[in-house]
A and B are shown apart, each in its own frame.
Chain A
Amino acid sequence: MTSVTELAASGRTPIPGFVAEHLHVTPDQIGRYVLLPGDPGRCEPIARHFDDARHIATHREYVTWTGSLLGEPVSVVSTGIGCPSAAIAVEELSRLGADTFIRVGTSGGMQPFCGVGDLAIVSAAIRDEGTTSHYLPMEFPAVADIDVVDALREAARRTGARAHVGVSQSKDSFYGEIDPDSSPVAPQLHARWSAWVKGGAICSEMEAAAIFTVAAIRRRRAGGVMLMAGNLEMPQEELEAAMKTLTLDGLIGTAVEALRVMIERDHAAAAG
């Protein structure tokens, strides 16, 4: 077993003898930089943007591909839906020596200015989930690494994607968000949703809070970029028209570009 301080200090050195029992991958099969989609089916299309991408493993909801960008090994690993499985992925990848994580996925827009197809660059996440309470008291903020956030914004500038920087809601119940009245605690779900909107939250998704919190404790860097597919604050007809033109190209292109920005900046910092 490794202590909190040992893990925090391990950096890019794999924990000796560690077996990734859920991911089924080994340290030499994983890059330092990892994209984290929720959907296992999205790993291959993302990996096509890498040089020399190869499939590494598929176990449970965890699909892993590895390739390279700018000569640096990079990976994409699906987390499955929700913070419990996402936390396992970040824990195992951290022990394998990965230190930079970018969540990439879809979300619901929460502000009138969040157009369908816009990107959300997640600066911090609402801990509206159960997993992170196993790590830190609720008062602790789930914030992204500022260099990853800055790299994502630079990547959006390069790809020309329309992007907003802001807070996401990381929830545990998909249907509690899209059909709150179906829940016995509907009044509470409505009141809290309204508070998140008034607090300026820009998108609703299901994994960022755990990825940011576990990464912070392990002293890894994490951020996230989300496609805003749908917007509960938008009129239904407008929404349906916008959804017809929705593609993942801008999202994936921006996430991959952000890895390039991180790699360029890390190389420049290492060169002094």
Chain B
Amino acid sequence: MAVPAVEELQHHVQLKPGDVGRYVFLPGDPGRCEKIASYFEGPRQVAQNREYNTYTGTLLGEPVSVTSTGIGGPSSAIAMEELTKIGADTFIRVGTSGAMQEWIEPGDLGIVWGAIRDEGTSLHYLPVEFPAVANLDVTLALREGARRTGARAHVGIGQSKDSFYGQHEPGRMPVAQRLHDRWAAWMAGGAICSEMEAATLYIVAASLGVRAGGIMLIAGHPDQRPMTPEESARMDLDVLLRTAIEGLKVLIEADRAAGGTPGRGSANGRANGQA
């Protein structure tokens, strides 16, 4: 990996080169970072500022980090920009999401291969026609991670929205009809889960030439009816986190087998680089 030229602390995440590994988990919730880091070897907190909470440790001897993004595209884009400047090049979003197909059971995992750009931030990077697609190797590694942990996982499309309550209570919004119609279209297109950061992260990653993917714990139902107590009992964050960790181990092994470290900006370091 090229040594980043930037030595001063990054403005929002308050991190400098050497503080994070090449591989970074991106949860939304700052309160989830310590829990995720507990799956690393030798985790330590390296910074906390605003919604950005960062821990670094190792997996298979490789430095890995977790940085929370806060909720939504704007703060997530800032996190990815600043982490990339200090040397990270592979990002895995982990978090919770809402079900968008009836055949999905609460507690299933969604591996987000593509994301609906139902948000504003990514338009500051690329026209809306550009697909928000995850890196193939990261996505296949997460699927292999799910095989190893035995988690029930689906590879598919996520809806990345800017309004949590627009999804959960669309009927009370002035644009209710539009929200209902578009939700129905996303379901018809086969979207599997609704969350708030993947599209921004994938488009920013494409623009920066880094790799990104995402895995979500899926809750609820497409019609917003409440979960039964049995369904709620299936929601297990530990399954999500163990699978995400296992997926990253698969990726680290694959990167090592491929002979190392694709540099950013080179052919095979691009977000969707050489096979």
- Assess whether A241 is interfacial by the CB under 8 Å rule: no
Q: Let me know if B182 and A166 touch, CB within 8 A.
A: no
When the two chains form the complex, which single residue of B117, B207, B275 contacts A139, counting CB atoms closer than 8 Å?
B117
Q: A138 — which chain B residues lie within 8 A by C-beta? A: 128-129
Q: How large is the interface on B (under 10, 10 to 19, 20 to 34, 35 or more residues)?
A: 35 or more
**Chain A 135-162 near chain B by CB (<8 Å), digits 1 or 0:** 1111111110010011001001100000
Q: Which of A61-69, A98-106, A117-125 contacts B (4 or more CB under 8 A)?
A: A117-125
Q: Which of A121, A139, A219 has the most CB of B within 10 A?
A: A139
In the complex, B155 has a CB within 8 A of chain A = yes
Within 8 A of B (CB), among A5-23: 5, 8
Q: How many residues of A contact B (CB 8 A)?
A: 44
Q: Please name all residues of chain A whose beta carbon is closer than 8 Å to the beta carbon of B127 when the two chains form the complex.
A: 192, 195
Question: Which of A137, A143, A167 lies in contact with B157, CB distance below 8 A?
Answer: A143
A143-B113 contact given A195-B130, A199-B130, CB 8 Å threshold: yes
What's the least CB distance linking A244 to chain B, in Å?
24
Q: Are A146 and B155 in contact (CB under 8 A)?
A: yes
**A124-B207 contact given A136-B189, A146-B113, A146-B136, CB 8 Å threshold:** no
A136 touches B136 (CB 8 A): no
Q: A126-B131, A141-B157 are in contact. Are A217 and B188 (CB under 8 A)?
A: yes
CB-CB nearest in chain A for B119: A139
Judge whether A166 and B131 touch: CB under 8 Å.
Answer: no
Q: Which residues from B are CB-within-8-Å of A165?
A: 136, 272-275
A95 within 8 A of B: no
* Residues B131 and A124 in contact, CB atoms below 8 Å apart: yes
With A141-B133, A164-B267 already in contact, the answer to whether A153 and B113 are too (CB < 8 A) is no
Q: Is B96 in contact with chain A by the CB < 8 A criterion?
A: no
Other than A200-B207, A200-B270, give 10 A-B pairs with Cβ distance below 8 A: A8-B190, A141-B157, A149-B136, A163-B274, A163-B275, A164-B275, A166-B270, A196-B126, A200-B271, A200-B272
